[in-house]
């Protein structure tokens, strides 16, 4: 894997070139594809550190690419690009395993900030600390990136793990959506808190056998409770 290799997938070459310019200015290497099938093959063969994936692609669309990667246990971080402001596209992308989304047209500085935030989170996973957080019947091993409920492991994607970690580190505290976006995602952009809601819903499904639960504080945010 080439260090800081970013894969950009979009059927419009001008958008790829636009993104490439800003990524290269930040020191990233870039590979690109204009269709879903080529992208899937390329991602598996080049092992990039992150994928910027457009939803609307010829043949195999971005949703199908994302689903195929996750089915194959490829956990490469994915930031999906959605057209206009299609809320359903964002929700579907996150539920299929994307780490984040960005709506076109977008500010390139925001894209760069999100890429850096995702890469920073992934690199933190290799730290050598032995931190373990226990809340009720949930045990979170920070070093191993493992979560168990009553001793039984549950599978969490990177962003789900980070969200649960933040909530568990200060269990009982009410976190606003904006605070969770900042602490778990590593950035803060107005109007993006729906991302938090979707990941909370996914976490709740995976924690359904636990006595520990995520409680909604209407008008405020969320907290982890036993």
Nearest to 163 by CA among 199, 188, 192: 199
The secondary structure element, H or E, covering residue 89 is: helix 87-96
pLDDT at residue 129 above 70?
A: no
Return the CATH number of the domain spanning residue range 132-225: 1.10.10.10
Give 50-70 pLDDT, tens digit per residue: 999 999 999 899 999 999 999
Q: Using an 8 Å Cβ cutoff, are 222 and 216 in contact?
A: yes
CATH of 5-124 among 3.40.50.1700, 3.40.50.1000, 3.40.50.2300, 3.30.460.80: 3.40.50.2300
- Averaged pLDDT for residues 92-110: 85
Residue 152: what pLDDT? 93
3-state secondary structure 142-207: CCCCEEEECCEEECCCHHHHHHHHHHHHCCCCCEEHHHHHHHHHCCCCCCCCHHHHHHHHHHHHHC
The domains of the chain are located at 5-124, 132-225
Q: Which residues of 172-192 are buried (b: 16+ CB within 10 A; e: fewer)?
A: eeebebebbbbbbbbeebeeb
Structure token digits, residue 176: 């606003």
Give the per-residue pLDDT at 90: 67
Enter the pTM of the model: 0.64
Please say if the pLDDT value at position 80 is more than 70: yes
Which of the four pLDDT bands, split at 50, 70 and 90, describes residue 1? very low
């Amino acid at each position: 894997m080439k260090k800081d290799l970013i894969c950009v997938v979009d059927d419009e070459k001008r958008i790829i070139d636009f993104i490439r310019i800003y990524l290269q200015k930040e020191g990233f290497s870039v590979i690109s594809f204009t269709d879903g099938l080529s992208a899937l093959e390329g991602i598996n063969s080049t092992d990039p550190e992150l994928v910027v994936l457009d939803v609307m692609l010829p043949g195999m669309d971005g949703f199908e690419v994302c689903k195929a990667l996750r089915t194959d246990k490829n956990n490469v971080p994915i930031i999906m690009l959605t057209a206009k402001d299609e809320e359903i596209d964002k929700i579907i992308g996150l539920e299929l395993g994307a780490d984040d989304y960005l709506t076109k047209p977008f500010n390139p500085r925001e894209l760069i900030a999100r890429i850096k935030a995702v890469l920073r989170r992934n690199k933190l996973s290799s730290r050598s600390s032995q931190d373990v957080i226990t809340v009720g019947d949930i045990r979170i091993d920070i070093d191993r990136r493992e979560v168990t409920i009553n001793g039984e492991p549950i599978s969490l994607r990177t962003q789900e793990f980070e969200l649960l970690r933040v909530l568990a580190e200060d269990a009982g505290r009410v976190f606003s959506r904006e605070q969770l976006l900042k602490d778990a995602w590593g950035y803060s952009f107005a109007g993006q808190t729906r991302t938090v809601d979707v990941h909370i819903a996914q976490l709740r499904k995976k924690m359904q056998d636990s006595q520990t639960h995520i409680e909604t504080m209407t008008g405020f945010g969320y907290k982890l409770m036993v």
